[in-house]
Amino acid sequence: MKIVVLDGYTVNPGDLSWSNLEKLGECNIYERTSTEELIGRAKEAEVILTNKVVITADDMDQLPQLKYIGVLATGYNVIDIEAAKERGIVVTNIPAYSTPSVGQMVFAHILNITQQVEHYADEVREGEWTTCPDFCYWNTPLIELLGRKIGLIGLGQTGYNTARIALGFGMKVWAHTSKSRLQLPPEIKKMELDTIFRECDIISLHCPLNENTSELVNAKRLSLMKPSAILINTGRGGLINEQDLADALNQKKLYAAGLDVLSTEPPKADNPLLAARNCFITPHIAWATKASRERLVHIMCENIQAYISGKPINNVAV
């Protein structure tokens, strides 16, 4: 069985081993693959593994040996799922591998905004503390999380894990979720979407991106938020109208935003959020801890082993 990894670099830039994958078949592993290179590299493959390389119906028609596509991520919008179903091609994803790391990044952004650790480390390096007449020095608001309301938009595994961390900080947790109130633990309160935007001190996005959630955060909803509120997005960039968010930040209608995702990645140089006031952006790395990527590779191999045994798991093309 021939296995081709189209864009292995982001999953494994060299700090992990492909050895367990190589035990499953003849492997060709490419760091990156352009659209033009796809067919030539994958034409004899039964198994293709991709993170962000798009595979269309036309591509599938040109790959006669193809029986299995493994998406090395949770989201699988890079694959034409309907075309795969029509052709009997198994398509698997990697669910829940990054849940702990994403929750950690949510609070990395929250703590960066509320405590300004990098800002004060820089101030100390620049001598502001050594020349201060007092034993302590600060020039920004310092915000305690105890008792603050955090609103989670979506309460899947990452949302629920984030809720657990928030509860550890003594926060009040509200959630907009399709789950019924009876399915939620008593410490998580189910709330309507606009109520969350109106009342919460921090809002964190954990819902999928689809036609119902595209630009869910827009000028109208931002206008509901407190000027002291914080918006966090580790989900998908398309959940936010980026110009509307930049305007709200620059006009001080919103205190701050912490973002790990943008609508186009890498971002274009003219993305308004890159220069927006109190907007802290990390380059889509919430998922990328070594532990998270090790889980991804482990589940990837389990998926392929299940396919070989004739009992596919995590198959999204059903």
Is 284 among the catalytic positions?
yes
Contact 47, 3 (CB under 8 A): yes
pLDDT tens string 140-174: 999 999 999 999 999 999 999 999 999 999 999 99
Distances 24 to 44, 54, 93, 123 between C-alpha atoms, Å: 16, 24, 18, 53
Residue with tokens 């003594």: 170
How far is residue 27's CA from residue 236's CA, in Å, rounded to a whole number? 31
293-314 in b/e form (b: 16+ CB < 10 A) is bebbbebbbebbebbeeeebeb
- Selecting among 148, 236, 293, 295, the annotated active-site residue is 236
Q: 199 pLDDT band (50/70/90 cuts)?
A: very high
Q: 11 pLDDT band (50/70/90 cuts)?
A: very high
Give the pLDDT confidence score for residue 114 in this predicted structure.
Answer: 98
pLDDT tens string 106-129: 999 999 999 999 999 999 999 999
Q: What is the mean pLDDT of the chain?
A: 97
Give the pLDDT confidence score for residue 258 in this predicted structure.
Answer: 98
Q: 60 pLDDT band (50/70/90 cuts)?
A: very high
Is 192 among the catalytic positions?
no
Give the pLDDT confidence score for residue 197 in this predicted structure.
Answer: 98
| CATH architecture, domain defined by 2-96+290-308 | 3-Layer(aba) Sandwich (3.40)
- Selecting among 215, 284, 294, 302, the annotated active-site residue is 284
Domain boundaries, the chain: 2-96+290-308, 99-281
Quickly count: other Cβ atoms within 10 Å of residue 123's Cβ. Answer: 17
> Phi and psi dihedrals of 190, rounded to 5?
-80, 130
- Selecting among 126, 144, 192, 265, the annotated active-site residue is 265
pTM for the structure as a whole: 0.93
Q: 221 pLDDT band (50/70/90 cuts)?
A: very high
pLDDT tens string 19-59: 999 999 999 999 999 999 999 999 999 999 999 999 999 99
Give the pLDDT confidence score for residue 90 in this predicted structure.
Answer: 98
Same fold, 2-96+290-308 and 99-281: yes
Give the pLDDT confidence score for residue 111 in this predicted structure.
Answer: 98
- The DSSP letter of residue 148 is -
pLDDT tens string 66-87: 999 999 999 899 999 999 999 9
Q: Where are the alpha helices (DSSP H) in the chain?
A: 19-22, 38-42, 57-61, 81-86, 99-115, 117-125, 157-168, 193-199, 219-224, 242-250, 290-308
3-class SS at 39?
helix
Report the percentage of the chain scoring pLDDT > 70.
Answer: 100
Is 236 among the catalytic positions?
yes
Instruction: Name the superfamily (CATH) of residues 99-281.
Output: NAD(P)-binding Rossmann-like Domain (3.40.50.720)
How far is residue 66's CA from residue 197's CA, in Å, rounded to a whole number? 46
Q: 271 pLDDT band (50/70/90 cuts)?
A: very high
